[in-house]
Every structure is written in structure tokens, then in C-alpha cells.
Amino acid sequence: MSSSDDEAKLPQDVAVEILKRLPARSLLRFRCVCRSWRSTIDDPRFAALHLSHSALHASNWHLLWLHWGGLRNLCSLFSNESLAMPSQSEIGMPFANPRNIHGPVGSCNGLICVKEISARRYGQTMYLWNLFARKHKVVPRSGLDSRFFLVGFPCGVLGIPREVLGFGFDARSNDYKIVKILYLLDNNHRCIGGMKPWVETYSLGIDSWRRLECEVPAICDDEQAVFLNGNMHWSALEFDVPWAESKYVSIVSFDVAGEVFDEMPLPEEIVRMDNGRLSVYLAVLNDLLAVFVNLMKALGHPGPDSVCSIWVMREYGVHESWTKMYSFEARGLVTNFNGFTRNGELLMEIGGLEQVSWNPITGQYANLPLPPQSDLVTVIESIVSP
């Protein structure tokens, strides 16, 4: 019996219902079965259907470990339930240059945005990568890279550049976007000469950057942005007086579809803390915007190295809905926070040397098989093409 006869026995809608339930590695193989299956699997509408089905199952959510440097160009894939279990696989980054440093910009619908930082530190190369579909693309250099990092600052201006990045999905136009904010700061951490930050967005749909004329309400921290509810989020810093320590006061958001910035205040309890000893990280916990607060002890004072707390915004955008979930004393100095697993465990770096998870129900720590100087990214299995 010919393959065309076999295809005739399996209606297209039935084939789609079967295929959308399969893992990405199987779909890559089944593209070779026949032309109609290849056409179906390569259709962006099927990729969206497969993604919607994939998101319903916990087994399709993973944590990807990326090391900042190293010669092997490998990252490790773990279950999002627990990193205490062995790695599911080691994956090579096909675009990585072993002489450079790599770090995540963000992850959305199975696409991971990775920055590659050379010795120049700024104006880095970026990539969009779907490790499940085994595809990646180089993001073209932005106009800001050309204007500032390749030919120097304009008009002889000297300053401290702060580059802030974010990655997210525009559901309105079905497009993936990167936003880049560039500040030129003086030694007092103020924008030089009152200059506004430069903002550009990259659209995967048209594969190009575009300058945005918009107001950025505050100086964003350069930690990895959190994407939730169609918005990117960064903690915002304020410098009250020259040479003062930075102060966390709010969260800056960027509406990916509307391409506008907004600002929402942090809980007053956090704003009142001693910011000279404070670190604030944003994350997503049970589909809610969450804040991890790390208050470090003063030098020479007794007590725990870090007292931590978790806050969530119960109703997105409503300041009054901020709720403190719990507080705890860490077993050492917390030097980084990498988010949560799907079962609510916290992922932290202690003392710059060890990666641990902490279970808020049992209060137990677990050492993780991860080296220091690494980042963890939540990623969902998909065949969305970069």
C-alpha cells in the first residue's frame, strides 16, 4: 500500500490531534514520514497548538543551567520539579564561543534569548535558541551597538554605560521581542547631563531593531527581566544623594505589545529596609509576580548572614495585594537567587560557592549538582522556531 493510501486513512484533524501530544524529538523524526506531516509540523499554527498542549503538563517544563564561562559550551537540562535529581541531558550550545561569557536574557514559549559577552563587555551578540527544535538564529546588532560600542560615545561624552535587556512575547502581533535600555551614568549614578535613556526593540517577525521614543520611569537593575502577563519587569533603583547606596523603590514594567513603560511601587516594608545591605530579585511563583528579598547582616554584627523573605502580588498591578508569604534565616550569605521550581522550592547560591534549594514547607536545604557562577532558566518544551 502506498504512503498516499496510508495518509488517506488518517484524516488531517486526527493526525494533528495525535501529533500535538508528541514530544519535540519525536516530531523532528516524524517530519520525514511524509510531506503532509512535514508541512503540518512546520506550520507556525501547529507550533502554537503544540505549545498550548505542552504547557498543560508538568513534565514538559524544565530548568536549564547555563554556566557563565568554560570551554565545553555545554548546559544541563533538569526537571522543573527538583534539581536534586540527576540532569536529564547535557546539551551543547551550537553558537557558543568558548572564549566568551554567556548568560540568559530570558525565556518565553520555548525560545531562549542568550547574550554572548566578549572582553568589551557591552554591545554583546545575542541569539534566539530553541534547544528542543535544534534551531537558533543570530540577532542582528542594534543601532545602539553601532553608535556607542563600535564607534564610541557621541560628542566625546564619557560615562558609565548600564545596559538592561528583556525578552518577551507580543500576543497581539504574535511576535517575539527584545528590549534594550542604555543608560549613560556619571559617578553619582545619574544620567549624564540629564540625558534620557536610549531604548530599542528587536522584532523577530521583521528581524530588525527600532528606536523607541518613550519615557523610562527609573533606572532599572540589570538582573534578568521577568516576563509575566505580557510585560517585562525589572526592579528599579533610586539614588537619593551623590555617592549614596542605591535604594530599591519600585518595579519598572514594559508592555511588550503597547511598547510603553510603567512603574509599580514595592511593598513599603521593603522600601524602608536598609538598602545598603539589601538585594531584591524578581521571579514568578504560581503565575504571580514575586519578590525575593535578601537582607544581609551589617559587618561585624552578630546574627544570620542573610534574612530572606518572599512577597507575591496577589492581583497583578494592584499595590494593596502585595502579601508576604514567609521569612527565613538562610544558612549562609545568599549571593544569588535563581527563582523557584514548580513545587515552590527556592533556588539560591550561598557564599558564592554552592547552589542550594530550600523547601519552605519542611525548611530543609538540598545541595544541587551545579557549580557556582551559573544561571537557571525555566523553559518549556516546544517547536516554536526562532
- Name the range with the highest mean pLDDT among 39-43, 108-112, 143-147, 373-377: 108-112
Distance (Å, whole) CA 340 – CA 290: 10
Answer for the pair 375, 83: CB distance below 8 angstroms, yes or no.
no
pLDDT digits (tens, 9 = 90+) for 46-99: 999 999 999 999 889 998 888 765 555 678 888 777 666 656 677 888 888 777
Question: Does residue 272 lie within any of the structural domains?
Answer: yes
| For the chain, percent of residues with pLDDT exceeding 90 | 50
Q: Average pLDDT in the 129-147 region?
A: 86
pLDDT at 120 over 80: no
pLDDT at 358 over 70: yes
Answer for the pair 183, 162: CB distance below 8 angstroms, yes or no.
yes
Question: Does residue 6 lie within any of the structural domains?
Answer: no
The CB density around residue 343, as the number of other CB atoms within 10 Å, is: 12
Assessment of whether the complete model's pTM goes beyond 0.95:
no
Question: Does residue 52 lie within any of the structural domains?
Answer: yes
Question: Does residue 28 lie within any of the structural domains?
Answer: no
Question: Does residue 108 lie within any of the structural domains?
Answer: yes
Q: Which of 87, 82, 86 is nearest to 345 (CA)?
A: 82
Distance (Å, whole) CA 123 – CA 174: 27
Q: Average pLDDT in the 302-324 region?
A: 91
pLDDT at 340 over 80: yes
pLDDT classification of 275: cutoffs 50, 70, 90: low
Q: 207-236 b/e with 16+ CB inside 10 Å = b?
A: eebeebeeebebbbbeebbbbbebbbbbbb
Supply the range of the domain harboring residue 240. Answer: 43-380
CATH code where residue 260 lies: 2.120.10.80
**Cell numbers representing residue 198 in the block:** 536610549
For position 7, what pLDDT does the model report?
46
pLDDT digits (tens, 9 = 90+) for 159-181: 667 789 999 999 999 999 999 99
Question: Does residue 38 lie within any of the structural domains?
Answer: no
Question: Does residue 153 lie within any of the structural domains?
Answer: yes
**pLDDT: is 325 or 353 the higher one?**
325
> First CA to last CA across the chain, in angstroms?
38
Distance (Å, whole) CA 78 – CA 86: 7
Q: For residue 4, how far is the Cα from the chain centroid?
A: 45
Question: Does residue 84 lie within any of the structural domains?
Answer: yes
The CB density around residue 123, as the number of other CB atoms within 10 Å, is: 19
For position 97, what pLDDT does the model report?
79
Distance (Å, whole) CA 230 – CA 168: 7
The counts of H helices and E strands in the chain are 7, 25
Q: What domain count does the chain have?
A: 1
Answer for the pair 30, 42: CB distance below 8 angstroms, yes or no.
no
Distance (Å, whole) CA 334 – CA 324: 19
Instruction: Look at the block and give the residue holding cell 558564592.
Output: 352
